[in-house]
Structure 1
């Protein structure tokens, strides 16, 4: 029987904060593995001696808990589960379905015998409402689909026919959603991703924003998917939609983008002035949470593997706990500026192939323009001369880099 991916880094986050007087918040796009993470963690608690009656688990997407979507009903139910017990571990999964859930969370937080864990699939609820009410009382784990290291480890342990890392990487590009490990064909994978995509669009964007013209929203998402890694503006996006026959204003585009980002199906990378060490207000890049969703929605689109690889690197930097920006240095662009919790910077250029000398020089030029002493990396898929050092700029094979030791996950204390 094929086992679940262990998600060790994420499990360690929960273990680190166990029994501490702080709320553990796990956010992430639907089907990224949040519920499975809670299952793995509950198994760990039980193996560590926690009695089953001291673990309360509610998944609000399960119809048996529909009556508990009311804050008062939920609180009354939980009180019966936690009273007269020394320590109770409470798991509230997809809590955004509970009206005024923040009142329940706040009330549970002050109970000394409760260790509280919650998940949600919409950043609007988990960063907006909770951040306001529970400032200083929670840590957030931002969960993403599988890393390539997790994907490869699972396949090595479960695949009877071992392949090369390059072959596995090609499979990884089809989707990093955990469930796709258990699909038997590309068609089945696409059918599953289609269900995820429709659920996110209809439940987490359309329903929340009360959008009537769903097709315009879908066109905007398709436009963003097709331009991953490219600088865009609200006005440019609007003009693209208008050229396709849509009637939409800039404010509506901006509203829809906020809904898309809140659904966690895409992430924004703002521009960062490397010389001035400050954020710029104009132009952003957008990256998709799973490149398989791009393949799903853009069936006839020519693959842009350079930007797909860039997307993979962006997500990996996010997994490793960095704040990630697009760098500007003079007239040059640096693919990524990564800033860790100590406010230390590192710089990344991503390229498919640099065996052509002109391409290599073009990719190195932006990094060479940076005069500070922070680390600089060129990540490529080169088969020849995968690693090199160009006056302090380290060239690395991107697959080897993806399989490297992860840095500690950052903890967003509010």
Structure 2
């Protein structure tokens, strides 16, 4: 029996937004738990009010396939509204409805509606819709399990270091985690089905990705370059040198599609001294390390440092940070993170710094930073110390602390 995990932080956010006149937009990669989260919240509301005031629609359900425009959906919802009461409307994968932008706008202007929607690609918050809903929408981006959530799925005592090895080796998708406990051999097949579903439902319809081999080459290169600075031109050059020709505009389109479907997240560079964003040489991080292991067939140990960096990046996102890669002169700081209150923290990530040369390499960029914002070095070493104004902390302890 696998222990049930409540997505406490996400539920807390939904509770805080309940009844507020925003469209609550729940985004994230497929199978991260968006629909389950919305179901849990819906059931919570249903315990306190008459169920007639709650409507729920999943537009991936075949029974809605005949709905060819937004007006049909609007009329269906409107005729079921309880007049004079606040109605709770839940729309799953609403971007599949033609003209969904008008549907959301039409529902929003009704002050008797508290509206919640989910979507598995960034088209839901495209520039057109973002303009339409300026000041009206609040996005909650859902990720697969954090390490803290993953660790809570174990029903028998297991050392946290072993749990962390599993976290890096298998997957943080909720259903994949359940399979890991039952039969680890099934995890990769599950991840393959999720990945193929993303390709078919989120990427192909919107980007017409037809050069399958070229797409695979780009994806595999990016997955093998987690934590490395990349550009479309650079990727195209490297692939061309290996007789895998693809032009830079196509690479750019592929990268955007992967980010729009939340398979990848992009971290842009930030000039720490100049306090400005830089528009070249971004880094990309994968939403779940299981995808990387699936596509590359690599063991964790071959690139453990960059995989740890990926985990820390995702955790910083979970905690509500805006994240950049820091540039300070010719050196680089892994992450510049700005929290919800506007405070900056600088992070370096290394698997281990027991070698003095590695320790010096990780500390050196901090020495160049002219301000006094917190500086943190995250490693898997057990030691937690402070030196040269830098706090060194253990990654597992940090991941479990929030």
Equivalent residues, number? 398
Q: 2:176 aligns with which of 165, 174, 180?
A: 180
Alignment of 1:337-352 (within 5 A): 337-352=336-351
Give the equivalent residue in structure 2 for 1:168.
163
Give the equivalent residue in structure 1 for 2:33.
33
Give the equivalent residue in structure 1 for 2:265.
267
Give the equivalent residue in structure 2 for 1:253.
251
Q: Which moved more, 1:38-47 or 1:223-232?
A: 38-47
Q: Which moved more, 1:370-379 or 1:209-218?
A: 209-218
Query: Residue 114 and residue 333 in structure 1: after superposition, are their counterparts in 2 closer, same or farther (change >3 A)?
Result: same
Preserved contact between residue 107 and residue 115 of structure 2 (Cα < 8 Å): yes
Q: Does 1:11 align with 2:6?
A: no
Give the equivalent residue in structure 2 for 1:403.
400
Distance, in Å, in 2 between the alignment partners of 1:91 and 1:27 is: 13
Give the equivalent residue in structure 1 for 2:150.
151
Q: Which moved more, 1:33-42 or 1:177-186?
A: 177-186
Distance, in Å, in 1 between the alignment partners of 2:126 and 2:400 is: 31
Give the equivalent residue in structure 2 for 1:282.
280
Give the equivalent residue in structure 1 for 2:113.
114
Give the equivalent residue in structure 1 for 2:360.
361
Alignment of 1:75-154 (within 5 A): 75-84=74-83, 86-154=85-153
Preserved contact between residue 175 and residue 290 of structure 1 (Cα < 8 Å): yes
3-state SS of the aligned residue for 1:24? strand
Query: Residue 393 and residue 69 in structure 1: after superposition, are their counterparts in 2 closer, same or farther (change >3 A)?
Result: farther
3-state SS of the aligned residue for 1:68? coil
Distance, in Å, in 2 between the alignment partners of 1:80 and 1:93 is: 19
TM-score by length of 1: 0.93
Distance, in Å, in 2 between the alignment partners of 1:27 and 1:137 is: 16
Alignment of 1:36-47 (within 5 A): 36-47=36-47
The runs of at least 4 consecutive aligned structure 1 residues that moved more than 6 Å come to none
Distance, in Å, in 1 between the alignment partners of 2:256 and 2:62 is: 29
Preserved contact between residue 52 and residue 82 of structure 2 (Cα < 8 Å): no
Residue ranges of structure 1 left out of the alignment (5+ in a row): 406-414
Preserved contact between residue 272 and residue 327 of structure 1 (Cα < 8 Å): yes
Distance, in Å, in 1 between the alignment partners of 2:84 and 2:214 is: 52
Distance, in Å, in 2 between the alignment partners of 1:231 and 1:225 is: 12
The alpha carbon displacement at 1:203 in A equals: 2.0
3-state SS of the aligned residue for 2:65? helix
Give the equivalent residue in structure 1 for 2:388.
391
The alpha carbon displacement at 1:85 in A equals: 5.4
The CA deviation string for residues 143-162 of structure 1, in whole angstroms up to 9 with x for no partner, is: 1111111111232xxx1x31
Distance, in Å, in 1 between the alignment partners of 2:287 and 2:136 is: 28
The alpha carbon displacement at 1:219 in A equals: 1.5
Query: Residue 122 and residue 69 in structure 1: after superposition, are their counterparts in 2 closer, same or farther (change >3 A)?
Result: farther
The alpha carbon displacement at 1:401 in A equals: 0.6
Distance, in Å, in 1 between the alignment partners of 2:2 and 2:109 is: 41
Distance, in Å, in 2 between the alignment partners of 1:15 and 1:125 is: 22
Q: Does 1:197 align with 2:191?
A: no
Q: Which moved more, 1:6-15 or 1:176-185?
A: 176-185
